[in-house]
Amino acid sequence: IILRDYLIQTRTKISGKSKRKNWTTSYAVLTKHYLYFFKDQKNMISSNKPDFIIALLDAKVECCSNESSRKNCFKVITFDCETLIQDDNREKSFHWKEMIHKCINELVGATPITNFMNRNDNIGFRRSRSQKNNRPFAKDFQMQGSSTINGYTNFTYPSPPSSINDKKKKIRERLLNFLKKRPPLESLREKGIIKDENVFGCTLELICMRENSKIPRFIHECVQAIENKDIQADGLYRACGNLSTVQKLRFEINQENYQGLWKEQDVHVLTGLLKMFFREMKEPLFPYDRFESLINLNEIDDKKIKLELMKNLVNNLPEPNYHTLKFIMEHLLR
């Protein structure tokens, strides 16, 4: 977690459709990849999932003083959603905006020209409509190349032919329109078009209850199959196996066919499959309602007290989570 605090937010566009502003105070949690919004801090600890999530990959952050009368307001934009965020404290709002922008840049690695254009957006630098209509793009670009704004100089770059730009723009618009028309995942589940899988994307409690076991059969057999291979291989859990093979095994396991685990020769396919299982669980191995207590342990300096509290926290985990965590830790220590 990078930041967490109360913020005021409203979603102005959801799945490509504009929405009326409905400002709500939410508990925001910023991580490297996502921005979570919960009803409040208590809800974050006890609830299984947030009110909504913003994926920061390919997202943008912009000032939006012209879209709201509220002070210290900024906007987070994804390909199909827009969210306005605001706080009465100017420094707090600016800090959140900068940290979100930093997370986005770390994910995509912005180029110098992109950074400059973002900078122009933030300080309100705009060309007039008459300039856009009367001057070619390349000429405008060169005109900007000689100017310096707040210490940032925009150097001239060669402009691609307009026909290529138009073609790319049309393709991008078609893809966006196609994605906007797709119904949300929740509605597909309600209609029965998409059903929950038997193993992947499920909860440990439900799997163990169905199998009448303390550890899911998949975890037990997958770890055994991994240990039968070369566990001294370089990058055992770092390197990735063939994704199509991983997906094939996943489909077989959801059909309760585990033979493929023992026939697979590439250990990295098996480790990739195990990582996928934990990544797609509905609830993490360390449940949401224990998450706050786990984070608070980092603030304790005394190692003995910290270790004792950690033991109590682990011992009080739900039975399937406790036995699965113990089994995985024993495997990783081998």
The count of domains in the chain is: 2
Structure tokens at 134: 């009367």
- Coil/strand/helix, residue 301: coil
Task: Give the tens place of pLDDT for each residue, 73-110.
Answer: 999 999 889 999 999 999 999 999 999 999 998 887 54
Identify whether residues 212 and 105 lie together within a single domain.
no
Percentage of the chain exceeding pLDDT 90: 39
Task: Give the tens place of pLDDT for each residue, 18-32.
Answer: 888 899 999 999 998
Identify whether residues 106 and 221 lie together within a single domain.
no
- Coil/strand/helix, residue 12: strand
- Coil/strand/helix, residue 97: helix
Asked, for residue 173, whether it belongs to a domain, the answer is: no
β-pairing verdict for 34-38 and 24-30: antiparallel
Average pLDDT over residues 298-319: 90
Identify whether residues 105 and 212 lie together within a single domain.
no
- Coil/strand/helix, residue 302: coil
Identify whether residues 9 and 109 lie together within a single domain.
yes
Asked, for residue 149, whether it belongs to a domain, the answer is: no
Domain edge (last residue) among 114, 135, 155: 114
Question: How big is the chain by its Cα radius of gyration, in Å?
Answer: 25
How far, in Å, CA of 27 to CA of 145, rounded? 43
* pLDDT greater than 70 at residue 269: yes
Identify whether residues 213 and 312 lie together within a single domain.
yes
Identify whether residues 326 and 214 lie together within a single domain.
yes
Asked, for residue 107, whether it belongs to a domain, the answer is: yes
Asked, for residue 138, whether it belongs to a domain, the answer is: no
Average pLDDT over residues 214-236: 89
Burial category of 322 from C-beta neighbours within 10 Å (exposed 0-12, middle 13-18, buried 19 and up): middle
For residues 173 and 53, the model is more confident at 53
* pLDDT greater than 80 at residue 190: no
Average pLDDT over residues 314-334: 92
Identify whether residues 208 and 327 lie together within a single domain.
yes
For residue 220, which of 178, 270, 264 has the smallest C-alpha distance? Answer: 270
Identify whether residues 213 and 110 lie together within a single domain.
no
β-pairing verdict for 152-153 and 148-149: antiparallel
This prediction has a pTM of: 0.45
How far, in Å, CA of 3 to CA of 32, rounded? 10
Structural domain containing residue 106: 3-114
Domain edge (last residue) among 88, 114, 140: 114
Asked, for residue 188, whether it belongs to a domain, the answer is: no
Asked, for residue 170, whether it belongs to a domain, the answer is: no
* pLDDT greater than 60 at residue 126: no
Identify whether residues 328 and 208 lie together within a single domain.
yes
What CATH number does the domain containing 41 carry? 2.30.29.30
Domain edge (last residue) among 114, 148, 183: 114
H helix intervals, the chain: 41-46, 90-108, 112-122, 129-134, 137-145, 162-181, 185-190, 204-211, 217-228, 243-254, 259-263, 267-279, 288-296, 303-315, 319-333
Asked, for residue 275, whether it belongs to a domain, the answer is: yes
What CATH number does the domain containing 293 carry? 1.10.555.10
Asked, for residue 55, whether it belongs to a domain, the answer is: yes
Q: 257 CB contacts (<8 Å, ≥6 apart)? A: none
